[in-house]
Chains A and B, each alone.
Chain A
Amino acid sequence: MITAALFLCFLLLFIAGTPVGVALGLAGCLAIFMADLGLMAAPTNAYTGIAKYPLLAVPMFVLVGAIFDRSGVALRLVNFTSAIVGRRAGSLAAVTVIVSMFLGGISGSGPANAAAVGGAMIGALSRAGYPRAFSASVIGAAAATDILIPPSIALIIYSVLVPQASVPALFAAGMIPGILAGIALIVPVLYVSKKNGFGLAEKDLPRPPFWKSFREAIWGLLAPVLILGGMRAGWFTPTEAAVMAVLYGLFVGFVIYRSLTLRDVYEMFVEAAEISGVILIVVALAAIFGWAGSTLGVFDHAANAIVATGGNQYVILTLLIIMLIVIGMFLDGVSTFLILLPLLMPIANKFGWDPVWFGVLLTLKIAIGQFTPPMAVNLMVSCRIAGVPMESTLRWVFPMIASMFVVLILMVIFPEIALWLPRVLGYL
């Protein structure tokens, strides 16, 4: 009865278009009130839900994304990568994917990556003869590798919800799947470009000079080294790494490229605060829902019921992934984590799935969802920049979705794809 109230209240508000966090929080409050669990649990859990030190990395990495978006690093990386790859059919599209992956080593969010790469690439791609809808598809799909390649806001939030999986272990575990996902995207991108003769418009133009473009790009190339290397070497925690990246990005933007102004800094601070607020208010209010559900034993019962069906773990996993695909049509990554993890973790524990592997698997699924219409945040950003409607990308994104799904299936069959690196680095 109370369980039904918890879920019905959430669903009704959610369908009416209430902000996800508010729908979760109110449903939680209603259940707490009906079960007489003490309503003071609401403000306490909302506060402790966000008053957690590891979450501090969220606003910081959002800020890093904004700074590297505006500083012009992406553009220099494009020139440098083009100097290496040359101007064959599909090569500039492949460069887009590589630059996205590289920026993925700096920023922690897919849409931020799509914005940065889209701003730098869309003009160049059009001049080289790629249709704008195709370009928007490539940018949206490539940006999805960002939340796998560390740093990743998605993995930070997963770690806060699943404390057994530490941020460094998750970051290390996301690296190889992220690179594989990028490679998996390059394959259909090159094939489609070859087949349609995309990217040949400027094939006779000279390549950008290697050394000059390298000198300009070096500052961008060093950023992931600073962030990931600094964390690995134990110089700083993930949060501190983000702040060092902020400092570095401001230095590059002000001193080296001279592309930033103080006004920009103010605007970036406000923008990062708003985006962080949008994420963290869901985290805070979902904590009320999570508390109510777990205190009432709702999630445990549901997990027991699912396991008690006696299904093979791969069957259950397949069903979970299908469920995630459906839910991913309507919901973003943060909300997916916050709503489903309390239910999914008991199932994962019962089957003995490694929480680090499971976190990267879920994140890979969310990454695919980021460029799967209709709710596809990365495509939303890249289509906006390209000035094309999202429907026009449908025929291009499909092979990319399929290709990234292959990586997901590989990760289910070979968990070591995720777990090898953190094990070697001593995080597991």
Chain B
Amino acid sequence: QTYKPEYKISTVVGAPFPWGLMAERWATIVKDKSGGKINMKVYPGASLVGGDQTKEFTAMRQGVIDMAVGSTINWSPQVAELNLFSLPFLMPDHKAIDAITQGPAGKKIFEIIGSKDVVPLAWGENGFREISNSKRDVKKPEDLKGLKIRVVGSPLYNETFTALGANPTQMSWADAQPALSTGAVDGQENPLTIFTVAKLHTVGQKHVTLWGYVADPLIFAVSKPVWDTFSPADQQILREAAVDAAKYGVEIARKGITAADPSVLKEIEGLGVTITRLTPEEQKAFQAATKPVYDKWKARIGADLVTQAEKSVAAR
């Protein structure tokens, strides 16, 4: 069969972020194993969908994008079940993320995605989203009261921050940086890799809390119409390469932010930023404050799926 000269992988951020690196690794492995027959190129910045990452999934379904390493948050408008990972304080640690993605809940989600003309191949990682602000250390929900926090656009995030007493504000990342520097908003939430690369300490973000309220696993996927053009052997190559690249991606996404290897945390503290680490009890207070939101969305996402995920987390 004839293959396209180039297959396009969409990502939201490129190298040197782990997100971009794992997509590039996928392309490299596939090229090697297919003997140069399958060429994939990474298009960061969601540039294949005019910069609107929430359109990525639809575009892939329509065959406008061949492949993507996409975020569960950005795909949740099309796949409501992906809101699972945005349930506040569902996953207390990295092991919990793995327990869900590699367990029955992860499998179920892949089945759902597969029913929407997109072929999911492997789970990568963007990381826990940690909160930072310019005002004070956040140890308990009351500390968030009245803080204006820039959040990604999603009703679930809006409700979570409202439940915590904060004042969530939705704005594009381009608007967010000047807004942070002028104090129009007080804080933001993102994986720590974004914090360091975007140098958020220079816009007054001096208080970081490691609260791990949500994590954003990434999904390696191929458009179904494109997938069907590959021979079974090449499909196998794509799948195995995605699994390998995802494994590498999870590794680099967690580098330097664990108790065993806190090098990135040390680096951030070296910039004059205080990092607050919550004890399990302190984290419980946040969990309790967001419980009504959790319960409401558990029903909306599908109680069975969420219960399955909870079980996997408990048994990790």
Residues of A bordering B, CB below 8 Å: 37-38, 40-41, 44-45, 47-49, 51-54, 159, 163, 166-169, 232-237, 287, 291, 294-295, 426-427
Which chain A positions have C-beta within 8 A of B16? none
Which chain B positions have C-beta within 8 A of A159? 174
B227 to chain A, nearest CB (A): 14
Residues of B bordering A, CB below 8 Å: 8, 43, 45, 47-52, 55, 58-59, 62-64, 171-172, 174-175, 177-179, 181-184, 203
Set B52, B175, B184: member contacting A54, Cβ < 8 A: B175
SS of A interface (majority): helix
Most B-side CB within 10 Å, residue of A159, A232, A234? A234
Set B50, B63, B174: member contacting A291, Cβ < 8 A: B50
Q: Are A295 and B8 in contact (CB under 8 A)?
A: yes
Q: Are B52 and A237 in contact (CB under 8 A)?
A: no
Q: Closest residue of chain A to B180, judged by CB?
A: A234
Q: Are A53 and B63 in contact (CB under 8 A)?
A: no
B39 to chain A, nearest CB (A): 12
Q: Are B174 and A163 in contact (CB under 8 A)?
A: yes
Q: CA A169 – CA B301 in complex, angstroms?
A: 41
Q: Are B62 and A38 in contact (CB under 8 A)?
A: yes
Q: Are A53 and B175 in contact (CB under 8 A)?
A: yes
Q: CA A426 – CA B177 in complex, angstroms?
A: 11
Which chain B positions have C-beta within 8 A of A169? 178
Given contacts A37-B64, A48-B49, A287-B50, are A237 and B179 in contact (CB under 8 A)?
yes
Q: Are A53 and B181 in contact (CB under 8 A)?
A: no
Given contacts A49-B50, A287-B50, A291-B50, are A44 and B182 in contact (CB under 8 A)?
no
Given contacts A45-B49, A52-B172, 9 further A-B contacts (CB under 8 A): A40-B62, A44-B50, A48-B51, A234-B184, A291-B48, A294-B47, A295-B48, A426-B181, A427-B181
Top-6 shortest CB links A-B: A234-B182, A48-B50, A38-B64, A48-B52, A234-B184, A40-B62
Q: CA A33 – CA B62 in complex, angstroms?
A: 14
Given contacts A287-B50, A295-B8, are A166 and B62 in contact (CB under 8 A)?
no
Q: Are B182 and A233 in contact (CB under 8 A)?
A: yes
A260 to chain B, nearest CB (A): 31
Q: CA A53 – CA B150 in complex, angstroms?
A: 15
9 of the cross-chain contacts (CB-CB < 8 Å) are A40-B62, A45-B49, A48-B50, A54-B174, A163-B45, A166-B174, A234-B179, A234-B183, A295-B48
Set B49, B62, B178: member contacting A427, Cβ < 8 A: B178
Q: Closest residue of chain A to B43, judged by CB?
A: A295
Q: CA A184 – CA B306 in complex, angstroms?
A: 67
Q: Closest residue of chain A to B6, judged by CB?
A: A297
Q: CA A236 – CA B169 in complex, angstroms?
A: 13
Q: Are A41 and B59 in contact (CB under 8 A)?
A: yes
Which chain A positions have C-beta within 8 A of B182? 168, 232-234
Q: Closest residue of chain B to A164, judged by CB?
A: B174
A21 to chain B, nearest CB (A): 15
Given contacts A38-B63, A41-B64, A287-B50, are A237 and B171 in contact (CB under 8 A)?
yes
Q: Are A53 and B62 in contact (CB under 8 A)?
A: no
Which chain A positions have C-beta within 8 A of B45? 163
Q: Are A168 and B51 in contact (CB under 8 A)?
A: no
Which chain A positions have C-beta within 8 A of B59? 40-41, 44
Q: CA A45 – CA B62 in complex, angstroms?
A: 13
B82 to chain A, nearest CB (A): 20
Which chain A positions have C-beta within 8 A of B58? 44
Which chain A positions have C-beta within 8 A of B62? 38, 40, 44
Which chain A positions have C-beta within 8 A of B63? 38, 40
Q: Are A44 and B64 in contact (CB under 8 A)?
A: yes
Q: Closest residue of chain A to B58, judged by CB?
A: A44
B158 to chain A, nearest CB (A): 16
